[in-house]
């Protein structure tokens, strides 16, 4: 579906853009953790490709796109190399990186949902895999870096919720047979905008009611 809405070259360029910005976030975390060059490359690859790899394995799209398109594999290495040599400069444009990361989140939750549906999954399962596509790489990144995944932490701005909203919009469009270039773009923009608003206004998900935990922000 989504693959039919844009030309293959445009779709490929969008995928590479999302992969690149996700890889940047993984490489920056590796630098903060004092990883060596190999560790930086591994974390960049895992962050950029983890979600899509998980989705493709679940739906049976094998071998996964990450192993059939050399560009998908090389783009994280380019991002890692950039961070290795220019990480102080990259850190200074963290706001810009966050914007592109939000764009990648919006794009991947939509493409992940539609690809899962095309492989025969139901609407709910497709939305779940759309979410996994968007956030799976970040979860893998944090696990490899020995951190509690940001996705699960109350002291992090909303990340999964925008992806859930975008994926849900897609399955509703599919359900009512209105998925097209405009509605797909609307889902991407909605997820993207929600993520940016969460960053701007520090929106966070609520915690348990009357909780007893004394946990504080790090």
* Angle formed at CA 125 by CA 123 and CA 131, multiple of 5 degrees: 105
pTM score of the predicted model? 0.88
**Cα distances (angstroms) measured from residue 163 to each of 72, 75, 107, 120, 212:** 22, 23, 9, 21, 30
E-state strands within the chain: none
Domain span at residue 37 reads 2-200
The total number of structural domains that make up the chain: 1
194 lies in some domain: yes
Q: Is the residue at 207 inside a domain?
A: no
Residue length of the chain: 218
Q: What is the pLDDT of residues 123-179, one digit of tens each?
A: 999 999 999 999 999 999 999 999 999 888 877 889 999 999 999 999 999 999 999
**Within the chain, which residues score under 70 in pLDDT?**
1-7, 211-218
Angle at the Cα of 165 (from 9 to 177), degrees rounded to 5? 65
User: In 3D, which of 50, 207, 36, 55 has the Cα closest to residue 143?
Assistant: 50
Domain membership of residue 217 (yes or no) is no
Placement of tokens 């979410």 in the chain: 131
């Amino acid at each position: 579906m989504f693959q039919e809405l844009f030309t293959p070259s445009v779709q490929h360029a969008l995928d590479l853009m999302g992969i690149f910005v996700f890889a940047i976030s993984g490489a920056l975390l590796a630098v903060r953790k004092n990883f060596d060059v190999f560790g930086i490359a591994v974390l960049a690859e895992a962050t950029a490709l983890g979600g899509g790899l998980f989705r493709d394995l679940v739906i049976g799209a094998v071998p996964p796109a990450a192993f059939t398109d050399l560009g998908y594999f090389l783009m994280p290495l380019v991002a890692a190399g950039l961070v290795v040599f220019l990480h102080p400069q990259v850190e200074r444009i963290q706001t810009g990186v966050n914007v592109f990361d939000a764009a990648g989140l919006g794009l991947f939750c939509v493409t992940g949902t539609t690809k899962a549906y095309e492989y025969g999954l139901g609407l709910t399962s497709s939305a779940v895999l759309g979410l996994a596509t968007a956030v799976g790489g970040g979860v893998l990144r944090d696990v490899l870096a020995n951190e509690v995944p940001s996705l699960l932490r109350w002291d992090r701005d909303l990340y999964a919720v925008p992806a859930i909203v975008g994926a849900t919009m897609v399955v509703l469009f599919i359900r009512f047979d209105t998925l097209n270039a405009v509605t797909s773009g609307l889902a991407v923009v909605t997820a993207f905008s929600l993520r940016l608003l969460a960053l701007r206004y520090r929106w966070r998900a609520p915690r348990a009611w009357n909780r007893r935990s004394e946990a504080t922000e790090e």
